[in-house]
Chain A
Amino acid sequence: MNIEKLKSAHKLLSEYKYELGKLEKGYTNRTLYINVSDNTIKEKSVTQLMKDKFIGGKGFGLYYLWNAVTPETKWNDPENEIVIGSGPIGGITQYPGAGKSLVCSLSPLTGMPMDSNVGGYFGPLLKFSGFDALELQGKADKDVIIFIDGNKGTITIEEAPEEAADSHVLGEQLTEMYAENEEDKRNISVVSAGSAANHAYMGLLNFTFYDVRRKQIRLKQAGRGGIGTVFRDKHIKALVVRFAGVKGNLNNPDDQGKINRTGIKLHKEIHDYDAQQCKMRQVGTANIIEVMDQYDLLPTHNYKFGSHLDTFKISSKVFTGMITQNTPDGCWYGCSLSCAKAVDHFELKTGPYKGQKVIVDGPEYENAAGLGSNCGIFDPHAVLELNFYCDTYAIDTISYGTTTAFVMECYENGIINKEITGGLELHFGNADASLEMLHQMSRGEGFGRLVGLGIRNLKRIFAEQYGADPVFLNDIGMEQKGLEFSEYMPKESLAQQGGYGLTNKGPQHDEAWLIFMDMVNNQIPTFEDKAEALHYFPMFRTWFGLNGLCKLPWNDIVPAGNKHTDEPAKIPEHVQNYVDIFNGVTGNNIDKEQLIVQSERVYNFQRIFNIRMGFGKRIHDAIPYRAMGPVTVEEYLSRAERYDGQLKELVGFNPEGKTTEEKIAAMRAYREDQYQKLTDAVYKRRGWTMDGVPTIEHLKSIGMDLPEVLEVVKKHL
């Protein structure tokens, strides 16, 4: 790696000097604005209104994005922004999971505001460098790198023509280039996309942290919604921040001792119980692969089924054997839950890096399910290879997995064939074909380039160009609002159908994961119960994104007496921890109810932002029938006993003597009606009209009655 040569090719386009600031109770009270069209760099003040109404993180991101765009703005217009910020709690080192960055932009997949959260050091180091958030606007002529030196107080925009495109190489190059010495590498974080983000709509952003034990960079992904595609469309090659001197008190919190004690309490809990509970330190999120299979929740063959005989081949035990790390590691200082896992010295069998030994950041559950079982691929090496290439090419593994599963089902149904795929035999289980398709995506060639546009676009293309039945495609294409579903089978949990469908950015599970509460434990039997859960949990979980926090330490570890509390699913002791650390950092005095109201403001703001962009109504909350029940005879027959039983007991329809098609139709009518009733109940609980529009009274009651917000709402009431 000739770093000097790469660096000497840089051309300085703009340089800006700023006063190093000091944080005050979690805020720097300023943000950084950079326009890469004209190389403007300026500072903005954080207003009290921003702090009161939007808190930070994705709250700030959505607020800035709202101000930057119009209802006509498209994802690839120069005025679209990418906003990156942590939040007031972000950067504390004592409480696990406090280093998240939140990234917001108009999405190429959905046309609406997208938010994606990611580990790695960028958000906290940006904050310690003096900025609560970074706004990126405009479009550069040629590839640029933006470098923020948080110790010297300088920001540069540099033309950077020669660095690698793919993140695993680019991240190393830039860490080497901008660190002053080996010791300094831990103070660098790089944000970059990869070659496939130049072509696909599902491009992601990689955020690095330097792993001092391995002496290599690690990659964490802001995966969802194609923000990496926006990044590359702006011709930004990378963002680099350098800040040396991380300590435990840089947030200058109101009550350091309270934060320390709360953090130590959770560290101890993780030390005592993680090995018996979720095994995050040993296995990470992959611990649930076989659990999902056991409950018929692991998507296989494009969500047709929830389990497979071959799941044992990609079980957590298999992956645990491939993880070579000797000690658990976290993606920000102080995360004792340490779910980040890596396979070292992984030898690639395909693609441009074939034969090289690389580090694979993973496997995560979503990758094993999305790249693996959902595509009928039960080969752990292939799953890891797909995982690696998705990351370095900057492709969202969830969108890739779900889209590939859709394409495979279309192939098996004869909707597309070898001529259309350019020779790719996209049967379920064909790992080689999936890998080749991914490499095509990186090169911007062939069928892979098309697949990179995501399911919504593919449905249109297959119908328009290849005469496919659009109704069938809509039934089996697992996307909503343009975003591909994440990897859980929601068919038997109405609440989770709502958890996927009644969301702001599309069907992911960072708003609500209610399957066990609903389907397994039957804790929320009525529509009102489900609606309450679909109010509380999305609001509660939104709060993590306002503050720079990770969700996992909330409920992937629970205190000893949790099951004896009033509301075990909420993990009351941990909710109080969050109240305590928020108050400890900011000096405010909120309680658990006010915490929810903080989220409600931003949640409703995002809903109205969607409406402003032409979406966000009831019609957009509909989900494909594959998410609700059996579309095909094959699916019905695979679980005939279950479905027949439900027809008798729940629907009042006697299945005897009926054809499978008749039974499917009866089941469908029932389940679709259930989803509508759930939608009614949830909208009511959230203070929305039956068309899904937040009412003015509700907005006033939660304090989100800003004039520009009411102006949008009034047009839709």
Chain B
Amino acid sequence: MKVLKRKPELCIACHACESACSNTWFKEDNIEKSCIKIKEEEKGNVIVSCTQCGECISVCQVEAITRDKNGIVRINKKACVGCFMCVGFCPELAMFMNDEYIEPFKCVSCGQCVKQCPTGAIYIEEV
């Protein structure tokens, strides 16, 4: 399965990945709607993104989160009742909510952000 991997030490916090993500999935340049988040902290930059660990699958009471045939953890928006429990329970804090939507969103390892990263701080790896 393809997983977005991170090398935060290479991240220069240009936020290009966030723009690429929100443009890809929400057709707008808005880091609040990105499935990857770059946090600029004192100790260094932190890259927050889904590892496809799947803990959210068992948290979801309505079975709206499943692993697809390629191993990617996906949200069935039709089945989702918008409880956001998965957001609170994500060990990576990589499940997101935006006020404009009543379902959460997450990285599906599409790789669009990787193409925009100038330093190789993020990359797709087959695991």
If the complex has contacts A212-B63, A264-B97, A330-B61, are A249 and B102 also in contact, measured as CB distance less than 8 A?
Answer: yes
| A93–chain B nearest beta-carbon distance, Å | 4
Question: Quick one: CB contact mask for A270-288 with B, threshold 8 Å, 1 for yes?
Answer: 1100000000000000000
If the complex has contacts A249-B102, A330-B61, are A267 and B81 also in contact, measured as CB distance less than 8 A?
Answer: no
| Contact (Cβ within 8 A) A267 B88 | yes
| Contact (Cβ within 8 A) A263 B62 | no
Query: Is B87 located at the chain interface by the 8 A CB criterion?
Result: yes
In the assembled complex, the Cα of A694 lies from the Cα of B63 at a distance in Å of 50
Least CB separation from A183: chain B residue:
B79
| Contact (Cβ within 8 A) A334 B99 | no
- Chain B residues with CB under 8 Å of A271's CB are 88-89
Query: Is B85 located at the chain interface by the 8 A CB criterion?
Result: yes
Least CB separation from B87: chain A residue:
A264
In the assembled complex, the Cα of A152 lies from the Cα of B97 at a distance in Å of 32
Least CB separation from A95: chain B residue:
B83
In the assembled complex, the Cα of A327 lies from the Cα of B88 at a distance in Å of 16
Query: Is B84 located at the chain interface by the 8 A CB criterion?
Result: yes
Q: Which of B58, B82, B89, B99 contacts A247 (CB 8 A)?
A: B82
In the assembled complex, the Cα of A268 lies from the Cα of B88 at a distance in Å of 4
In the assembled complex, the Cα of A260 lies from the Cα of B81 at a distance in Å of 12
- Chain B residues with CB under 8 Å of A564's CB are none
Question: Quick one: CB contact mask for A314-338 with B, threshold 8 Å, 1 for yes?
Answer: 0000000000001101100110100
| B88–chain A nearest beta-carbon distance, Å | 2
Q: Which of A212, A213, A263, A269 contacts B84 (CB 8 A)?
A: A263
| Contact (Cβ within 8 A) B62 A94 | no
Least CB separation from A327: chain B residue:
B58
If the complex has contacts A271-B89, A333-B61, A333-B62, are A264 and B84 also in contact, measured as CB distance less than 8 A?
Answer: yes
Q: Which of B82, B88, B99, B103 contacts A266 (CB 8 A)?
A: B88
- Chain A residues with CB under 8 Å of B62's CB are 186, 212, 333
In the assembled complex, the Cα of A268 lies from the Cα of B90 at a distance in Å of 8
| Contact (Cβ within 8 A) A329 B89 | no
Query: Is A352 located at the chain interface by the 8 A CB criterion?
Result: no
| A323–chain B nearest beta-carbon distance, Å | 16
- Chain B residues with CB under 8 Å of A94's CB are 82-84
Q: Which of B80, B84, B87, B89 has the most CB of A within 10 A?
A: B84
Query: Is A470 located at the chain interface by the 8 A CB criterion?
Result: no
In the assembled complex, the Cα of A247 lies from the Cα of B63 at a distance in Å of 14
In the assembled complex, the Cα of A88 lies from the Cα of B99 at a distance in Å of 21
Which residues 331-357 of A sit at the B interface, judged by CB distance below 8 A? Answer: 333-334, 336
Interface on B for A, CB 8 Å cutoff? Answer: 58-59, 61-63, 80-85, 87-89, 97, 99, 102-103
9 pairs from A and B in contact (CB 8 Å cutoff):
A248-B81, A260-B99, A263-B88, A264-B87, A267-B89, A268-B89, A269-B88, A329-B61, A333-B83
Excluding A248-B83, A248-B102, 14 further A-B contacts by CB distance (< 8 Å) are A94-B83, A212-B61, A213-B63, A248-B81, A256-B99, A256-B102, A260-B97, A267-B84, A270-B88, A271-B88, A329-B61, A333-B61, A334-B81, A334-B83
